[in-house]
Amino acid sequence: MRKVLYQGHGSLRLTDNDTVIYIDPFAGGGYDIPADLILVTHQHYDHNELSKPAKKPDCKIFQNMDAIKDGKYISFDFKGIHIEPVQACNKNHPIDECVGYILTFGDGMQVYFAGDTSKTQQMTELAQRHIDYAFLPADGIYNMDIPEAIECAEIIKAKCTIPVHLAPGKLFDRARAEKFTASGVKIVEAGEEFELK
């Protein structure tokens, strides 16, 4: 079974059978299951608290500085999952210091974790990828606001889009989440886990 726990803010835990992946650990709970892989999109303190997750002895940590080398994005395969860094940027997040990640599983499912970003040039290419799930930020302060996030969701055309990173200092903001009216939207509360299928 493949599941995502939305821990709150921009933090998520993905489990794929026995493989456990944390993305941007910082907020909420649910860090007790030992990690096989930790992915960090950038170095702001609210995305890279690497001490929070429990870790397996051979846990791999892959951060933005690993993902971009000499201006090129570095993909890799991990336990049957293809990990692909992609563009993430806005006025608060330089493009050479931030990434999002697309995870492609053996059965073809693709999950896009945008990180902290606004609209990027690469998003038009993502529309051709048939993304299954997309997690987009929409706080309107450090990232794009709700209207731009909706625009990005419509460009990407994921089957399901989940708004995250909705309010600095809060795990979740339902009022903002409910303004995110893109096609295929799924509102997920902080602390809620759901199956990817």
CATH code at position 93: 3.60.15.10
Q: Residue 136: which residues within 8 A CB-CB, separation 6 or more?
A: 114, 144, 149, 152, 153, 161, 162, 163, 164
pTM > 0.95? yes
110-128 per-position pLDDT tens digit: 999 999 999 999 999 999 9
**195 within a domain of the structure (yes/no):** no
**197 within a domain of the structure (yes/no):** no
**193 within a domain of the structure (yes/no):** no
**57 within a domain of the structure (yes/no):** yes
Q: Is 17 exposed, middle or buried (0-12, 13-18, 19+ CB in 10 A)?
A: exposed
Total count of domains within the chain: 1
Structure tokens at 134: 């997309």
**40 within a domain of the structure (yes/no):** yes
**30 within a domain of the structure (yes/no):** yes
β-bridge partners, 93: 90
55-110 per-position pLDDT tens digit: 999 999 999 999 999 999 999 999 999 999 999 999 999 999 999 999 999 999 99
**191 within a domain of the structure (yes/no):** no
User: For position 58, what pLDDT does the model report?
Assistant: 98
Q: Residue 30 is part of which domain span?
A: 2-186
**192 within a domain of the structure (yes/no):** no
How many C-beta neighbours within 10 Å does residue 64 have? 23
How many C-beta neighbours within 10 Å does residue 50 have? 15
